[in-house]
Amino acid sequence: MKISVMGIGYVGAVSCGCLASFGHKVVGVDVVPDKVAMLARGQSPIVEDEIDRLIAEGVGQGRLRAMTSIADAVAATDVSFISVGTPSGPDGGVSLRAVDEVTVSIGRELRGKPGMHTVVMRSTVPPGTAEDRVIPMLEQASGKRHGEGFRYLSNPEFLREGSSVRDFHSPPYTLIGAAPGDNGDVLREIYADVEGAVHVAPYRVTEAVKYLANAYHAVKLAFANEGGAILASLGVDARAAFRLFCEDRALNISPAYLTPGFAFGGSCLPKDIRSLLALADQANIAAPFLNQVLPSNHAIIEQTFEAIAAHGRQTVALFGLAFKQGTDDLRESPFVILAERLLGRGYDLRIFDRSVQVARLMGSNRAYIEREIPHLERLLFPEPAATLEGAGLVVLGHIGPADRPALLRALRGRKVLDLIGLAEVRDHPGISYQGLCW
């Protein structure tokens, strides 16, 4: 099938590589020329396991190309995936500006295009977006009626950064939002190689499920962190307690996101919590528990800063800057917030994160870090040993398995504040170890 992917950020880039690997003809579209140029050369614009190979193969085999023109992409394809960003607005509600812009652009190109074109929403949007916003926009811009000149489907993604390719091939299920009488056959054909159940539901239901999923992930993380802190204060091995808690698959659901650790961040969970709360405010519905999730998460960062400050003023080596291991996404990363806090208080800071290379950061990811830590490049070091030079305190956020041996070799004689509970660090001889469960 011929598919255009509008927006080649994390979801879009992974979609381009994976859909091309299924044998589809794919066109990636973005307003950032550097992203388009990289994709056209067969290079991934994001850091993500396996995606470099898939994109290189797709371009090399002629199944994947990139461009900046929405008009040319729509004309050359039968299906358009919308994968643009939906960041938080000033009031906490989701900003659909990018969705609106690409929707209108697609609609204009459909006005003179014969045959049926399918538009698929992959971006996270509030319930009601399909019927109250996007479909009317497409109808007005195209001059066609939904179901006659075009069809619209909702297809929320459940991709975790760091394992997006695996999640794309093995999702919990494929969720399709469709109009009455539409069984989502277009997406069923596109995802023919994806195993698992397919669920077709009304647009509003599918749009809501993504919000519920991310809100619940955030709730689980906050619950694990708060519970872990309480247990730790009572002398309980919190991680051992949570491991046993997660053994109950019948009532406690699953162990996903139920590991005490550091604060959560990234481009999804904080944004979608704020957006869901904004929807509650608009409907005048109280949501006291969810209103406390983000403050609880921020309190973890503050408590960690206080634990660092308790060691006195000294150079800090921070391992981990992206919001989690295996990605270069710095947006709303709790480690970025912690780094800002330390720099603002005058700490000398040295940072190691193998996945973060300033020269490769693009789009909103680059804009975010240039705004929050404008001189990041001089703080980053290429290897663990270099990062530790002159550091009096090591703060361990995350570090990949391949770099852990080098870290361990250089740790002797140092003070370590461990935010993730690595057994090999905890048991390492010759260090002053402090583990935190928040």
**327 neighbors 400 (Cβ within 8 angstroms):** no
In order, the DSSP letters of 307-364 are HHHTT-S--EEEE--SSSTT----TT-HHHHHHHHHHHTT--EEEE-TT--GGG--HH
Average pLDDT over residues 132-155: 97
Whether 58 is in a domain gets the answer yes
At which of 200, 222, 244 does a domain end? 200
pLDDT of residue 420: 86
Q: What is the DSSP letter of 94?
A: B
Asked if residue 220 and residue 182 are part of one domain, the reply reads no
Mean predicted lDDT score pLDDT of the chain: 92
Say how far apart CA 108 and CA 74 lie, in whole Å: 10
Q: Which of 49-58, 79-88, 112-121, 236-245 has the lowest mean pLDDT?
A: 236-245
Residue type, 145: R
Tens digits of per-residue pLDDT, 69-125? 999 999 999 999 999 999 999 989 999 999 999 999 999 999 999 999 999 999 999
pLDDT of residue 438: 47
Which of the residues are catalytic?
268
Between the alpha carbon of residue 248 and those of residues 120, 227, 245, 252, the distances in Å are: 38, 17, 6, 6
Asked if residue 101 and residue 135 are part of one domain, the reply reads yes
**Count of domains observed in the chain:** 2
Asked if residue 397 and residue 266 are part of one domain, the reply reads yes
Average pLDDT over residues 190-205: 95
Whether 219 is in a domain gets the answer yes
Q: Which of 15-24, 348-357, 386-395, 418-427 has the lowest mean pLDDT?
A: 418-427
Asked if residue 224 and residue 164 are part of one domain, the reply reads no
Say how far apart CA 219 and CA 292 lie, in whole Å: 10
Tens digits of per-residue pLDDT, 378-428? 999 999 999 999 999 999 999 999 999 999 999 988 999 999 888 888 889
User: CB neighbours of 183 closer than 8 A, spacing ≥ 6?
Assistant: 200
Asked if residue 244 and residue 173 are part of one domain, the reply reads no
Say how far apart CA 381 and CA 410 lie, in whole Å: 14
Average pLDDT over residues 50-55: 95
**305 neighbors 341 (Cβ within 8 angstroms):** yes
Asked if residue 357 and residue 291 are part of one domain, the reply reads yes
Residue 28's CATH number: 3.40.50.720
At which of 200, 231, 257 does a domain end? 200
Asked if residue 388 and residue 239 are part of one domain, the reply reads yes
Q: Tokens 């975010």 — which residue?
A: 368
Whether 341 is in a domain gets the answer yes
- What's the whole-model pTM score? 0.83
Whether 205 is in a domain gets the answer no
Asked if residue 393 and residue 269 are part of one domain, the reply reads yes
What are the start-end ranges of the H helices in 67-202?
70-76, 97-110, 129, 135-142, 164-169, 185-190
Asked if residue 347 and residue 279 are part of one domain, the reply reads yes
Whether 218 is in a domain gets the answer yes
Would you state the structure tokens that stand for residue 96, as one six-digit string? 């659909």
Asked if residue 277 and residue 187 are part of one domain, the reply reads no
pLDDT of residue 258: 67
**pLDDT higher than 80, residue 337:** yes
SS3 131: helix
At which of 176, 200, 224 does a domain end? 200
Q: What is the dihedral of CA 246, 248, 254, 256, to 10 degrees?
A: 0
114, with CB counted inside 10 A (0-12, 13-18, 19+), is: exposed
For 365, the domain range is: 213-435
Kindly indicate the confidence band of residue 437, based on its pLDDT and cuts at 50, 70 and 90.
low
Sign, Cα dihedral of 161, 165, 169, 174? positive
Asked if residue 113 and residue 75 are part of one domain, the reply reads yes
Whether 18 is in a domain gets the answer yes
pLDDT of residue 255: 73
Asked if residue 258 and residue 183 are part of one domain, the reply reads no
Say how far apart CA 232 and CA 68 lie, in whole Å: 52
Q: In the chain, what percentage of residues exceed pLDDT 90?
A: 68
Tens digits of per-residue pLDDT, 246-288? 888 877 767 777 678 888 888 888 998 898 888 888 888 888 8
Average pLDDT over residues 115-140: 97
Whether 207 is in a domain gets the answer no
The neighbouring-strand residues paired with 176 are 200
Whether 90 is in a domain gets the answer yes
pLDDT of residue 165: 94
Say how far apart CA 107 and CA 111 lie, in whole Å: 7
Q: In terms of residues, how long is the chain?
A: 438
SS3 297: helix
- Between 290 and 21, where is the model more confident? 21
